[in-house]
């Protein structure tokens, strides 16, 4: 058995590598968006692609999100696999009509004759000190649209594997990139990236016995930190990383909750009408008799994303998670 | 040292010289819509083309009448008629080569039929049995788009992709006057011009977006003028003159095919019927206006030319009408049969592989249907 040298790599580097490998493997893969060419993207995720593959395959488009996604639809209709970048979460909103009225339903409306293999990369979430319209968590909108896959990596290895899987998918995928994890490092072998599970599988990142934290994307490191801190309180927390919001992995989530008997959903986006409500309902419907306490949620407040100098009060942090974990002591209080 | 600190030494100079990127003059549309019929140029028009256009116009008029009748019988949920606009519909279909693509709006069923699509397949959206009743790739006709102007960027992307592959493909995208106010219209034209994509945009200006007249839709001198701002030529044509529309669109398609980039064509026409059968057009326009446009009828215009030049006689006119009647009878016969629908199709083709959630819901519906069949529901 040969040992491979694992080097530290950032999530952004893994994403770049995924794009590059996908473009090299398949000449129909085209990267497009504002600033993706010469500049290499404002987060440098598309760095070097225009130079390596030419401007026809990594294209700086006019500044128009509906136009970027709308033309990508036509390109996909002709047999290409466009990977579009939306630059920032809230910049994707002008493209919503294309996404919802066409991208998500083209396969269905044509009875399978015209699938659209488009990957829509959306850097999302807060914690980077961005000003207004640069920190939204818009996953609930995407989740509510049938026909879209919605995935979000939380680790360097997943960033590579899930992006490759998304580009290879014959269906449109909204690929949510937790932008505050772009610079998170992990040991990872870029020369021989480990394959990941197909889209739709959650993973237990930390086994535990006393409660399950269900989370994804930018909140995963926070949950892992909270789980470490909770040991002092005698809690042995299991942490499940969803990785895919659509399809949803009921199996992994419910298996965990049935083991622990308690569940807490953690995400940045607002709680009301947010992903946590859906997840809590699914867990309750399936695991009611195993639950020792109501499924709780720790989410962002139900407010427009706050200005950067106040965002730390909005984002779910370790203390707020630990406080909620304490409230999972339901039977003791009642 | 900052600019402020060196103020004493700083001498203001004029900004670097500015040059427009494109001379706007050749892009501007003519002052009045281009016409062939009724002018001396008509004598030069190819007799075979005139006859073909005529047969298609007569068939198209009959198709519009038949589809409208089907809404009254409850066989179609809705039908947006193109009566009076047949010249645009037919010319749009006939200028394209087989490998080219048509991107119709919800009103352009007739263009799809004139391109060769089966009339029944073309109507599934409007009957309500499925959204798109045909394989777009097989016919190179995109799905009829209900949201306005959103199909225009698709046409640009497809034409761009074809050109990248080195294929000889032109996309012709159709939109109404109301659709030109949508953001997607702007983005599509801008992308097309920047990419020099082989696309032709055909605006059928039929005077109204449901009830809103053009004067409340735009302040532009004409919709064709909008092209200039994007750096593409704008052309104005009489939309009821089938020969003129065919010629202008033909030029635009050729220009695109030869690498000249996109063109915006505005065809001035009129919607003789209401927006759809659900609309009451008497609330927003008077009979005088409608009658004036009836007198400028696309079929009568062409029939007059054919008769004057001795290219058609009573028998020829009757033959065209008989062929249209046969098409209408076949359409009627097919549409009077109830479509056979499978409720399980609800879950087909949402994704390549159904999600676990959809599989569960599929089982639920299957159980409900089984219970219905057993009469326990």
Answer whether A244's CB lies under 8 Å from A253's CB: no
Measured CA to CA, the distance from residue B242 to residue B57 in angstroms comes to 8
The pLDDT value recorded for residue A188 is 84
| Torsion region of A291: left, alpha or beta (phi above 0 gives left; psi -120 to 50 gives alpha) | beta
Task: Report CB contact under 8 Å: B137, A114.
Answer: yes
Answer whether B141's CB lies under 8 Å from B147's CB: no
The pLDDT value recorded for residue B277 is 84
* Minimum Cα–Cα distance from B360: chain A residue: A250
The pLDDT value recorded for residue A228 is 98
Sequential DSSP letters for A151-165: E---SHHHHHHHHHH
Chain segment B24-65, per-residue pLDDT in tens: 999 999 999 999 999 999 999 999 999 999 999 999 999 999
Is the pTM higher than 0.90? The answer reads yes
Q: How many CB atoms lie within 10 A of CB A226?
A: 28
Chain segment B297-331, per-residue pLDDT in tens: 999 999 999 999 999 999 999 999 999 999 999 99
Q: What is the mean pLDDT of chain B?
A: 95
Q: Hey, is A84 helix, strand or coil?
A: strand
Radius of gyration of chain A (CA): 20
The pLDDT value recorded for residue A156 is 95
With bands split at pLDDT 50, 70 and 90, how would you rate the model's confidence at B3? low
The pLDDT value recorded for residue A5 is 64
Measured CA to CA, the distance from residue A25 to residue A3 in angstroms comes to 26
Structure tokens that stand for B234 in this block: 């704008």
Q: Does B190 touch chain A (CB under 8 A)?
A: yes
Task: Report CB contact under 8 Å: B136, A113.
Answer: yes
With bands split at pLDDT 50, 70 and 90, how would you rate the model's confidence at A190? confident
Chain segment A218-264, per-residue pLDDT in tens: 999 999 999 999 999 999 999 999 999 999 999 999 999 999 999 99
Q: Provide the percentage of residues in chain B whose pLDDT is more than 90.
A: 93
- Kindly state the DSSP code that residue A265 receives in the 8-state scheme: E
* Minimum Cα–Cα distance from B146: chain A residue: A101
Question: Is pLDDT at B363 greater than 60 in this prediction?
Answer: yes
Q: Does A108 touch chain B (CB under 8 A)?
A: yes
- Selected catalytic residue, list A30, A133, A134, A290: A134
Partner residue opposite B191 with nearest CB, options A71, A146, A200? A71
β-strand partners of A241: A203, A215
Q: Measured on CA atoms in the order A58, A59, A63, A69, is the torsion positive or negative?
A: negative
Q: Provide the percentage of residues in chain A whose pLDDT is more than 90.
A: 92
Q: How many CB atoms lie within 10 A of CB B171?
A: 34
In the block, residue with structure tokens 């749009």: B92
Q: How many CB atoms lie within 10 A of CB A255?
A: 15
Q: Does A169 touch chain B (CB under 8 A)?
A: yes
Query: Residue B68: is the preceding peptide bond cis (ω within 30°)?
Result: no
Task: Report CB contact under 8 Å: A109, B131.
Answer: yes
CA-wise closest residue to B154 among A107, A101, A71, A100: A71
Chain segment B93-131, per-residue pLDDT in tens: 999 999 999 999 999 999 999 999 999 999 999 999 999
With bands split at pLDDT 50, 70 and 90, how would you rate the model's confidence at A196? confident
Q: Hey, is B6 helix, strand or coil?
A: coil
Question: Is pLDDT at B249 greater than 70 in this prediction?
Answer: yes
CB pairs under 8 A between A and B: 141
HSE toward the beta carbon, residue A131, CA cutoff 13 A:
0
The pLDDT value recorded for residue A43 is 95
Sequential DSSP letters for B49-91: HHHHHHHHHHHHHHHHHHHHHHHHTTSSS-----TT-HHHHHH
* β-strand pairing of B208-209 with B212-213: antiparallel
Chain segment A86-119, per-residue pLDDT in tens: 999 999 999 999 999 999 999 999 999 999 999 9
Q: Provide CB contacts within 8 A for B325, sequence distance 6+.
A: B62
Taking residues A131-160, report their average pLDDT: 97
Q: What is the mean pLDDT of chain A?
A: 95
Measured CA to CA, the distance from residue A299 to residue A294 in angstroms comes to 16
Q: Provide CB contacts within 8 A for B45, sequence distance 6+.
A: B36, B243, B305
Measured CA to CA, the distance from residue A40 to residue A42 in angstroms comes to 7
Contacts of A147 in chain B (CB under 8 A): 350-351
Chain segment A158-182, per-residue pLDDT in tens: 999 999 999 999 999 999 999 999 9
Q: Does A171 touch chain B (CB under 8 A)?
A: yes
| Longest pairwise C-alpha distance within chain B | 96
Contacts of B121 in chain A (CB under 8 A): none
The pLDDT value recorded for residue A1 is 42
Q: B140 exposed, middle or buried (CB, 10 Å; 0-12, 13-18, 19+)?
A: buried
Mutate to test the interface with B, among A23, A61, A66, A67 (most CBs of B within 10 A): A67
Q: CA-CA distances (angstroms) from residue B345 to A113, B115, B133, B335, B353?
A: 14, 28, 13, 21, 14
Answer whether A254's CB lies under 8 Å from A287's CB: yes
Taking residues B234-254, report their average pLDDT: 98
Contacts of A66 in chain B (CB under 8 A): 153, 183-184, 187
Q: CA-CA distances (angstroms) from residue A185 to A156, A180, B287?
A: 7, 12, 73
Q: CA-CA distances (angstroms) from residue B230 to A95, A132, B58, B183, B225?
A: 21, 31, 37, 14, 10
Partner residue opposite B184 with nearest CB, options A61, A66, A80? A66
β-strand partners of A187: A8
Q: A2 exposed, middle or buried (CB, 10 Å; 0-12, 13-18, 19+)?
A: exposed
């Amino acid at each position: 058995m040969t040992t491979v040298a694992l080097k530290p790599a950032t999530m952004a580097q893994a994403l770049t590598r995924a794009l590059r490998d996908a473009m090299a493997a398949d000449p129909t893969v085209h990267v497009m968006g504002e600033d993706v060419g010469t500049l290499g993207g404002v987060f440098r995720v598309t760095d070097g692609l225009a130079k390596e593959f030419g401007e026809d395959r990594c294209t700086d488009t006019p500044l128009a999100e509906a136009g970027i996604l709308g033309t990508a639809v036509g390109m996909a209709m002709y047999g290409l696999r466009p990977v579009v970048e939306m630059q920032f979460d809230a910049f994707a909103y002008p493209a919503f009509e294309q996404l919802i009225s066409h991208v998500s339903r083209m396969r269905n409306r044509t009875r399978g004759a015209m699938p659209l293999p488009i990957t829509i990369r959306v850097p999302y979430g807060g914690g980077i000190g961005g000003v207004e319209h640069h920190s939204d968590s818009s996953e609930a909108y995407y989740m509510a649209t049938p026909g879209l896959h919605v995935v979000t990596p939380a680790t360097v290895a997943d960033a590579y594997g899930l992006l490759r899987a998304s580009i290879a998918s014959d269906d449109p995928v909204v690929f949510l990139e937790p932008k505050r994890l772009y610079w998170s490092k992990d040991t990872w072998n870029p020369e021989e990236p480990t394959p990941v599970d197909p889209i739709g599988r959650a993973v237990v990142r930390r086994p535990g016995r006393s409660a399950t934290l269900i989370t994804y994307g930018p909140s995963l490191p926070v949950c892992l930190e909270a789980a470490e801190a909770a040991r002092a309180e005698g809690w042995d927390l299991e942490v499940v990383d969803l990785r895919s919001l659509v399809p949803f992995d009921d199996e992994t989530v419910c298996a965990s909750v049935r083991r622990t008997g308690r569940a807490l959903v953690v995400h940045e986006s607002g709680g009301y009408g947010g992903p946590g409500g859906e997840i809590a309902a699914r867990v309750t419907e399936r695991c009611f008799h195993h639950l020792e306490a109501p499924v709780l949620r720790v989410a962002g407040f139900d407010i427009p994303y706050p200005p950067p100098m106040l965002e730390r009060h909005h984002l779910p942090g370790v203390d707020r998670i630990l406080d909620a974990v304490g409230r999972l002591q339901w039977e003791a209080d009642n | 040292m900052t600019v402020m600190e060196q103020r004493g030494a700083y001498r203001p100079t004029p900004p670097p010289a500015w040059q427009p990127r494109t001379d706007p003059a050749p892009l501007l549309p003519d002052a009045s819509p281009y016409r062939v019929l009724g002018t001396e140029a008509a004598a030069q028009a190819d007799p075979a083309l005139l006859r073909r256009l005529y047969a298609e116009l007569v068939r198209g008029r009959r198709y519009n009448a038949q589809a409208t009748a089907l809404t009254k019988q409850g066989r179609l949920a809705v039908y947006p008629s193109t009566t009076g606009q047949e010249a645009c519909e037919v010319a749009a279909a006939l200028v394209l080569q087989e490998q080219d693509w048509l991107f119709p709006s919800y009103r352009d069923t007739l263009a799809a039929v004139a391109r060769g699509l089966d009339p029944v397949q073309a109507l599934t959206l409007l009957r309500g049995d499925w959204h798109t009743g045909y394989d777009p790739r097989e016919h190179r006709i995109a799905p009829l788009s209900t949201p306005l102007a959103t199909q225009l960027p698709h046409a640009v992307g497809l034409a761009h992709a074809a050109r990248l592959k080195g294929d000889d493909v032109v996309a012709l995208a159709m939109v109404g006057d109301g659709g030109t106010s949508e953001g997607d219209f702007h983005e599509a034209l801008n992308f097309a011009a920047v990419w020099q994509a082989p696309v032709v945009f055909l605006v059928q200006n039929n005077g109204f977006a449901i009830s809103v007249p053009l004067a409340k839709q735009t302040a532009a001198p004409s919709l064709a003028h909008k092209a200039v701002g994007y750096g593409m030529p704008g052309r104005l044509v009489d939309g009821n003159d089938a020969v003129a529309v065919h010629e202008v669109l033909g030029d635009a398609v050729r220009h695109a095919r030869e690498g000249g980039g996109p063109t915006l064509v505005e065809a001035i026409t009129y919607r003789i019927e209401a927006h759809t059968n659900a609309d009451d057009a008497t609330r927003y326009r008077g009979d005088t206006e409608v009658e004036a446009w009836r007198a400028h009828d696309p079929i009568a215009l062409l029939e007059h030319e054919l008769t004057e030049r001795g290219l058609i006689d009573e028998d020829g006119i009757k033959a065209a009408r008989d062929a249209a009647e046969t098409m209408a009878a076949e359409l009627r016969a097919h549409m009077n049969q109830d479509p056979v629908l499978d409720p399980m199709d609800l879950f087909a083709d949402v994704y390549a592989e159904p999600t676990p959630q959809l599989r569960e819901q599929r089982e639920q519906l299957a159980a409900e249907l089984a219970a219905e069949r057993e009469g326990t529901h």
